Amino acid sequence: WGGRFSEAVLPVVEQFGESVSFDSAMYRQDIRGSRAHAAMLCAQGLMDAADLEAINKGLDEIAAAIEAGEFEWRADREDVHMNIEAALIEKAGEAGKKLHTARSRNDQVITDVRLWMRDAIDDMLERIVELQRALVLLADRNEGLVVPGYTHLQRAQPILLQHLLLAYVEQLERDAGRLKDCRARANLCPLGACAMAGTGLPIDRHATAQALGFDGPTANSVDSVMDRDFVIEFVSALSIIGMHLSRLGEEWVLWASEEFSFITPADNVSTGSSIMPQKKNPDPMEIVRGKSARVIGSLVTLLTLCKGLPSTYNRDLQEDKEPLFDAVDTVSKVLEVTTAFAYNVEFNAEHITAGLGAGFLDATTLADYLVRKEMPFRSAHEVVGRAVALGVAKDCELKDLSLDDLREINPIFEEDVYCSLGVENAVAQFQSYGSTGKARVGEQMDLWRAKLLTVDDK
């Protein structure tokens, strides 16, 4: 824009406004978009074949220099787009000057972001599948193990460990679905929207969109350059992934404690203490728990950034890149380290099983027994509550109460009550779809094995 100005930009302004220090991460997408744009301009008669050849040759050389770490990124050229374009003009001369025909940095940057985000989503989906696979394999190694299920962090009902692990697999599947939905909405091409009003030149936006693998061009040039809702949607989906894995991290941190001793992480996914020689900490999962705050912070940054902007493009939108890039980097690492932890943790089955008698985990199953005897559930709830109180008084489990003890509470009890008592019997009683019954969990395990595991895994 030098023709308009008579003074150079102050160094402090130049440094404050540059974005090449972070948006250079999109150089591959920027070069890809430039190639497609140049090909379209040539096809539309806005440059000739020699121009196109010179541009592609120059872009090849620039890409090679960047890959080799030999490209000079200059802050005085502000961003990835101007750095590459200026270098192209140095190499291709007048042909390079034609590349920005019917294109603004406003539509160029958002095209780059959509391309970059699309690649990031595809990578994220692969990482999610790998974690799901690790959890299914962990469930396979612990077939039949019953653990206490908790509500309010109090013992509630017995569940199969496989059932619990598959709960996280299900959550990750929804996470993947959100990413796929987000990718579909983002997969439209803004290139050709120009600054905000489009162009009077005879460009073919459909051809550019097709060349870049988009489903089509965006329909409104104003909307094309002004909104970042697809970025917000992506980081929102990443925040939900972070939240899900934070909950898994919290559970495993608790379970690794002496108070629970449900799991023993391998040494290769644990750390020690600088002062306490005995410590073995599940630090990766603590950091997973903490990293979720960082991703949620990126989401809040983006929402706040966009909430008060007038139409159409505003320079504020330059600030969308760093929270986006950081959220992607953070969640990628969180998925990777959680997968490593899942492959390197053992459940202490003997210890878990030995402690299943505490907490009257079979109380609800006993209430169901009474319902099958045609007692209204609310009445059954009261009767079982009295049985639990008796168990507390006698310091014993429900299964250890005698039939006479139970009949003193209510004469409805018969000898067959003991088929519903004890955690193994309790788990065997569950039969509803999606429940923790062995048959139902087995069905779900078969589905996930077929979906996720390879022949070598099996």
Q: Which active-site residues does the annotation give?
A: 152, 273
203: tokens are: 């460009």
Contact call for residues 437 and 146 (beta carbons, < 8 A):
no
Handedness of CA 348, 354, 359, 361 (dihedral sign): positive
CA 87 to chain centre: 37
Residues in a beta bridge with 345: 265
If you search the block for the tokens 């969990």, which residue do you land on? Answer: 441
Q: How would DSSP label each residue in 414-441? A: -GGGGGS-SHHHHHHH--STTSS-HHHH
Rounded to 5, what percent of the chain is helix, strand, coil? Answer: 65, 5, 30
Rounded Cα gap, residues 336 and 352, in angstroms = 28
Helix ranges (H only) for 6-156 are 11-17, 20-23, 27-43, 49-67, 80-92, 94-97, 105-140
* Beta-carbon contacts of residue 304 (< 8 Å; ≥ 6 apart): none
- DSSP summary character for residue 214: -
Q: How would DSSP label each residue in 250-285? A: HHHHHHTSTTT--EEE-GGG-B--SS-TT--B-HHH
Q: Helix 229-255 and helix 161-186: axis angle, to 10°?
A: 170
Give me Rg for the CA atoms of the chain.
Answer: 30
